[in-house]
Structure 1
Amino acid sequence: MVFFILIIFWACVLSLILYKVKSGEIAKWVKLFRILTVVFSVSFFAYWFIKKSAVAFVDNSVGLQVVNKLPQTLDFYLINVNKVDKNSALEPKHIGKIRPEYYRVEYLKMDKSDEYWIAGYLGKKNLVYFSQHSVPNKNIDQIVEVQNYINQSMKLSDAAKKQVDAYNYENTKLGIWITLDFLLLFLNLVLLLRKNK
């Protein structure tokens, strides 16, 4: 994903630089490159947004329903604990903000895992809920009702907090690169359409 975003960024930058080439034998190849860059970029982002918007059904997964019974809206993260050899790899995922008396459904791929954690934030940095859950039977869906502000393990919640912070940092970086790509793509599209007129 990041690889393609960087390729699009540099291709769009090169397309903007090559905009000045308007005559000569190379002008046809430059125009073709610019058109292909715009078409590939639009296609890639269209595919990516459709994929992100689709419901994330996973084969052989466990359904998880997180219900917020607290009087405040909390921002929930799911941390899947994968067993890799003898070590554990933590995979965070943002469930989203859940209002009081509402729920969200996620699908967990549990082929390398039998445990997950749920972290609830009030604001950006204030961890007010943490729970650890095991999955003894992977054929039964899970329901977690968040009814009070608890932290079941300070040690595990600290590890979860670090993973969530790293996850949010990576998403922020990705968001900046995507914004730059959109800006450059828009400029390239405008210049292409203006030239065609």
Structure 2
Amino acid sequence: MMFIIFIIFLTLLISLLLSKVKKGKNAKWAKLFRISVVVFSISIFTYWFIQKSVIGVINNSVALQIINKLPQTLDFYVINQNDPEKDGILDAKHVGKIRPEYYRIEYLKMDRSDEYWVVGYLGKKNLVYFSQHSVPNKNIDQIIEVQNYINQSLKLSEKAKKQIDAYNHENSKLGIWIVLDFLLLFLNLVLLLRNKN
């Protein structure tokens, strides 16, 4: 997705520069390019936001229910080991903040893995919960009740921490590019509508 976001940024920037072309035979082509870039960008973002907001049920997935029995709200992540043969490519997912006596459901794709980790943070950097779980039967959904602060493996929790930091860094970077794209999209849209009036 990062590549598409960057391409949208470049095309919107070119479109903004082409708004200066108002006369001559190239003005018509410039306006057509600008309109197509704006329509394309809005379509891509609409599709992406709809896809992100739909519940992430995946075919042949395992439903994981995390229940917080602790007295404090924890921020949970799930890490899935996708390719165990190649030193295990870790895939992190943010489950979200879970209040006491509440739960969240996440769907895990377990076709190339039979293990996942649950990581809980109190605040942004304080890892207070780490557990490792195997999935012997992929037809049975998983229920994890977090009842105490535990770290089952210091070595694996450090690995998980690095993966979650990388995941959050990528999301922050993506967020910055999306904000820049929206700013350029807004400017292009305003200029196009002002020209019509």
TM-score when scaled to structure 2? 0.98
- Specify every segment of 5 or more residues in structure 1 that has no aligned partner in the other structure, as ranges: none
Q: Does 1:28 align with 2:28?
A: yes
Cα distance in 1 between the residues matched to 2:151 and 2:124: 17
- Specify every segment of 5 or more residues in structure 2 that has no aligned partner in the other structure, as ranges: none
- SS at 1:20 equivalent: coil
Q: Does 1:194 align with 2:163?
A: no
- Deviation of 1:86 (Å): 4.5
Q: Does 1:114 align with 2:105?
A: no
Q: Does 1:148 align with 2:148?
A: yes
CA pair 111-183 structure 1, distance change in 2 beyond 3 A: same
Q: Which runs of 4+ in 1 moved over 4 A?
A: none
Sequence identity (%): 72
Q: 1:122-158 CA deviation, whole Å, 9 max, x = no partner?
A: 1110000000000001110000000011000000000
- Deviation of 1:3 (Å): 1.1
Q: 1:65-109 CA deviation, whole Å, 9 max, x = no partner?
A: 000011111100000012343521110010001111110001111
- Deviation of 1:12 (Å): 0.8
- SS at 1:168 equivalent: helix
Q: For 1:63-74, what aligned pairs fall within 5 Å after superposition?
A: 63-74=63-74
Relative to structure 2, which stretch is displaced further, 84-93 or 186-195? Answer: 84-93
- SS at 1:129 equivalent: strand
Cα distance in 2 between the residues matched to 1:89 and 1:154: 19
Question: In the alignment, residue 69 of structure 1 is paired with which amino acid?
Answer: K
Number of aligned residue pairs: 197
Equivalent in the alignment of 1:85: 85
Q: For 1:39-50, what aligned pairs fall within 5 Å after superposition?
A: 39-50=39-50
Q: 1:171-197 CA deviation, whole Å, 9 max, x = no partner?
A: 000000000000000000000000000
TM-score when scaled to structure 1? 0.98
Question: In the alignment, residue 37 of structure 2 is paired with which amino acid?
Answer: T
Question: In the alignment, residue 125 of structure 2 is paired with which amino acid?
Answer: K
- SS at 1:112 equivalent: coil
Q: Does 1:174 align with 2:174?
A: yes
